[in-house]
Chain A
Amino acid sequence: MLGKVIKYDFKAVARYLIPFYAVLLVSAALANISRLVSENDMLKGNLIFEVSTGLITAAYVLATLLAVIGTIVILIIHYYKSFTGDAAYFTFTLPASNDTLLWGKIINGAIWTCISFVILALSIGILMVGKVTAAQIKTFFDLAKPIFAEIYNAFGSKTSFILFVVCWLVIVIFMNQMEFYFCITAGQIIKGHRILGAFAAYIVLKIAQQFVSTILTLTQYAKIKEVIIETTAVGTAFSPLMWISMAELAIFGVLEYIAISLLLKKSLNIE
């Protein structure tokens, strides 16, 4: 049943996001073409051409924002409509548990977040075609090596850093949407002012996150101070904080999931 729920959630979101991504890729291609053409001496100093190139570059930047912000906005709107609007009559009469419906939204969101990352990387790749050579990429990585060595050192080892990045990506991909889903669901408790309720839930959640974050940072304060004073390895001091921040994000995500699940179970009221 989860597969079917994801299938139809995916389709519902695809009709908005595929055009966004198409615009991004096309604008990246146009930006690259205009850059390649601009290398022609004949066109140098041509005002119309330079303005067009500027506009195309601006369009690429806007398309990037549209794709990145649009992905999360569309996912939030889809959740809002499916779980609270007229479509909720259909959603909640499907023969699936509320948890299955919720996981459908979460996994669908994770899939589209991954797709948006890939499209973004692809658009950067398109932008770079003909501009960056393999030698330049190699030079870049050679230059970056000491920086990475410093980072690996800060995290204890290369494996530890990779583990951190993988965990962080997984958590961000899955949990990024959760706080919005939580706020929308919590907002439903306040009848007649549901959107206001969602905003109120968001503010309360952010205050709680900030409070916990501050407490956790303070627990590490002594250690950070000691490391900074005694050594110059600032990264070594901050890496535990990054792990703690990630754990906090994950814990809040899990708590938000539990809260949504309980709210749907105990007080689902599609009016």
Chain B
Amino acid sequence: MAVIETKALNKKYGRIEAVKDLDLSLEKGQIVGLLGPNGSGKTTLIKMINGLLTPSSGELYIKGFKPGVETKLAVSYLPERNSLPEWMKVKELIDMFVDFYPDFRAEKAYKMLADLDIDVSRKLKNLSKGNREKVQLILCMSRNADVYALDEPIGGVDPAARDYILRTIIQNYNEDAVVLISTHLIADVENVLDRVLFIKNGELVLNSTVDEIREEKGKSVDALFREVFAC
């Protein structure tokens, strides 16, 4: 059974069609790159998967369920901005995740935070911007989820931090899960992806494995992306 499935999924903002007639089926055990330029509909799709946006029409299922309590238990979400309560200490945030998510692995989170020398007794607001983002990523990846929906996880960070983020994702995700990474920084993520989805003006223009692209088209994902989205 597909972990994420959409049928003729649409999302409109007034007259603007952010996602158009999207038919998609993603099986478990793969890292999927949701690739497209800014404003192509990547974030809209991720938000619909997380139940943050109501589809205008069409169907969306996560593990066979429409977005709701069951799907929120299944999806671990990394938004593009900090959404965690900044007044809380990192330790309190971990306790909160333990309270809310049965699949949260606190020991894993503590280990990753210790590796980064992040003091768990400090409030989130007192950490540097980079460390706040890392805490958010660590909390997201410490869940044993069925879907990891990561919205621009490497956007706006330095190359060293990008490496750390990608390493954290690869080393910590549940291998039976779908990892959906939304980004326009293709070269940085290409090597970790199993499958890519190209989204252009809300439409899915390509759904292919990375191996197929390399073997059949003889190109890297980055090169194909530049070709498809050439201005």
- Chain A positions within 8 Å of B, measured between CB atoms, are 1, 4, 7-8, 12, 15, 86-90, 92-97, 191, 266-271
- CB pair B79–A191 under 8 Å, yes or no, is no
Is the Cβ of B99 less than 8 Å from the Cβ of A88?
no
How far is B81's CA from A200's CA once the two chains are assembled, in angstroms? Answer: 29
- The 8 tightest CB contacts between A and B, nearest first, are A89-B83, A90-B83, A270-B52, A95-B72, A89-B79, A95-B73, A93-B77, A4-B99
Whether the Cβ atoms of A93 and B99 lie closer than 8 Å is no
Interface residues of B (CB under 8 A from A): 13-14, 47, 50-54, 68-69, 72-73, 75, 77, 79, 81-85, 87, 96, 99-101
Instruction: Known A-B contacts: A86-B81, A86-B83, A267-B54. Give 18 more (CB < 8 A).
Output: A1-B100, A7-B99, A8-B96, A86-B82, A88-B52, A88-B83, A89-B79, A89-B81, A90-B83, A93-B50, A95-B72, A96-B72, A96-B100, A268-B53, A269-B54, A270-B53, A271-B13, A271-B53
Q: How many CB-defined contacts (below 8 Å) exist between A and B?
A: 62
User: CA A87 – CA B81 in complex, angstroms?
Assistant: 10
**CB proximity of A222 to chain B, nearest CB, Å:** 49
Q: Please name all residues of chain A whose beta carbon is closer than 8 Å to the beta carbon of B51 when the two chains form the complex.
A: 92-93, 268
Alpha-carbon gap, A147 to B51, bound state (A): 57
Task: Using A93-B51, A93-B75, A268-B52 as known contacts, say yes or no to A87 and B85 having CB atoms under 8 A apart.
Answer: yes
CB distance from A96 to the nearest CB of B (A): 7
Q: Which residues of B are found within 8 Å of A4, using beta-carbon distances? A: 99-100
15 residue pairs of the A-B complex, CB under 8 angstroms, read: A8-B85, A12-B87, A86-B83, A87-B85, A90-B84, A92-B52, A93-B52, A93-B77, A95-B73, A96-B69, A97-B68, A266-B54, A268-B53, A269-B53, A271-B13
